[in-house]
Amino acid sequence: MVDIDQLWRYDGRRAVVTGCASGIGEHVVRQLTELGAEVVGLDKRRPSLPVNEFHEVDLADPVSIDGAVASVGGRVDTLFNVAGVSSGIGEPALVATINFLGLRHVTEALVPRMGAGSSVVSVSSLAAAAYREHAAVVAPLLGTATMQDGIDWCHAHPDELGNGYQLSKEAIILYTMRSATPLGAKSIRINCSGPGVTETPILDQLRTAYGQGFLDDIPKPLGRVSDPAEQAAVLLFLNSRAASYITGQVLWVDGGNVGAAIARELEEGRAHGRLD
């Protein structure tokens, strides 16, 4: 029987964290360090927190990703795909490239270094809550064979791409679910989280692009936005031994937003006589 405290610990585990320099990723680094992990950080700039290794990476550039992965070397026990940008940067193809295609490229480059009992977690978004309804639109991007193929698809399909953000975050969820079985055959788990509004640099991008009113209009059943440390803690849970039988899942960390939306649909259906 494993001691319950040890299920949460990361002692002796080598963790790679993308987006380690700010926001949720910075808090992932802090919490992993407190729990005993050897932390390898990947980002465009060096984090202020100490890490065991740091390698610069541009998730929009497959050559940069391959170079960073080569520099990581050795085994990887757990991967945290945290890096991302919002639609506020105004370049839909670049948004999708960084948020999904780069994430996929990093993951598939590192998986060969992961042994049985390893795990992957990625950060999706509340914006992807309708991923089931949009699966047919996302499928062609998921089906691209390489990062460059995906970039080409984005440029060729601006209507399907939209602002790039929603599609990329839906792709993360569907990629996670599709990967669960083949990775499971290697005893590797993969999951993702779906954060609600969280106070990170991405939120500043959205404020600048769309105004504070855009954020205020997003329902918040708990009456507040999330702190990045709250999001980081869920990611650490999903990659910990405490979650050893969870794979292929999206865990909504949205303060009840998705649940409240479903409840509203049920009430509206009852009000219109569509439900008994």
Beta carbons within 10 angstroms of residue 168's beta carbon: 31
CA 83, CA 124: separation in Å to the nearest integer?
10
CA 211, CA 176: separation in Å to the nearest integer?
32
CA 189, CA 245: separation in Å to the nearest integer?
8
CA-to-CA dists, residue 125 to 55, 85, 148, 230, 247, angstroms = 26, 11, 24, 14, 18
Write out the two tokens for 275: 């439900």
* Catalytic positions, written as ranges: 165
Buried b (16+ CB within 10 A) or exposed e, 237-259: bbbbebbeebbbbbbbbbbebbe
CA-to-CA dists, residue 168 to 81, 163, 232, 242, 262, angstroms = 13, 9, 20, 28, 23
Buried b (16+ CB within 10 A) or exposed e, 111-127: bebbeeebbbbbbbbbb
